[in-house]
A = this chain, B = another copy of it.
Amino acid sequence: MTAERIDLAAVLGKTALLSGLSQPELQTLASRTVRKLFSSGELLFSEGEPCHGLHIIARGKVRIFKTSMSGREQVLAVNTPGESVAELPVFDGGPFPASAVAIEDAEIAYISRRDFQAYCMEHPEVALKVLQVVGARLRRLVGIIEELSFTTIRQRLIAALVKLAQSGGTKTARGIEFQLPATHQELANQLGTVRELISRNLMRLQAEGLLDVDARQIVVKDMKGLSALLETTS
């Protein structure tokens, strides 16, 4: 019991929302949290459901997404440990605007709305932190809107590849190599399109000599040429 509480307090202290709080305060909050476990593929909640509390990810990954009638998905965010999920409905009392699913086995610290709101009233600095986190979220959403309405799938894909190469790539004689983090289908969901287009566009980039593609293994042969395509109006 006590062990669990100390553990939770440590987790809470590492989240963006609550960093900077003192140990006793974290303890107090931890005593109000519930630990929830989700296995990979399990839904944390669905779009439209009422929201009763705040989810903080202690372990695992969570994908936030919308689904269309025809079954297509649009990913809004993928969240990792230390981040919180669905802060907003906690405060405006509305339903969840999107669904969330665990994409790895996950452990969630859950705090009820009432408790967290009360805590914010007593600790205004926490409320301001929440605003910062929400701000980052809102910026990402605006970015998604910008991409969806102004760019082609080709450009979105290139942008994603460049980002992956820069963060998780290793330099070799042939260029910058890295693995796609998931299936083409998943990548398509994140870019708001369908599997075939990912496939086709990757092949096209290969044909243009910018990439080498071998299933999920990507070798960027011409990083400059690739990045250059992001700037052009075409």
Contact = CB atoms under 8 A, between A and B. Distances in A.
| Range class of the A interface residue count | 35 or more
Nearest to A143: B97
Contact of A137 (B72, B122, B124, B138): B138
A42 B127 CA distance: 34
Contacts of A97: 138-139, 142
A79 interface: no
A24 to B, nearest CB: 20
Best-surrounded residue of A76, A128, A136 (most CB of chain B within 10 A): A128
A43 interface: no
Interface string A62-100: 000010111010101000000000001101111001100
Given A131-B130, A135-B89, A68 B124 contact: no
A205 interface: no
Interface in A98-151: 98, 117, 120-122, 124-125, 127-128, 130-132, 134-139, 141-142, 144-146, 148-150
SS class, residues of chain A in contact with chain B: helix
A192 interface: yes
A113 B91 CA distance: 22
Nearest to A72: B150
A22 interface: no
Contacts of A94: 135, 139
Contacts of A76: 142, 145
A141 B134 contact: no
Interface of A: 66, 68-70, 72, 74, 76, 88-89, 91-94, 97-98, 117, 120-122, 124-125, 127-128, 130-132, 134-139, 141-142, 144-146, 148-150, 192, 233
7 contacts: A66-B142, A66-B149, A70-B150, A91-B128, A97-B139, A138-B141, A145-B148
Given A89-B135, A94-B139, A138-B138, 14 more contacts: A66-B142, A74-B146, A76-B142, A91-B131, A91-B135, A94-B135, A120-B124, A124-B127, A127-B127, A131-B134, A138-B141, A141-B142, A144-B145, A149-B192
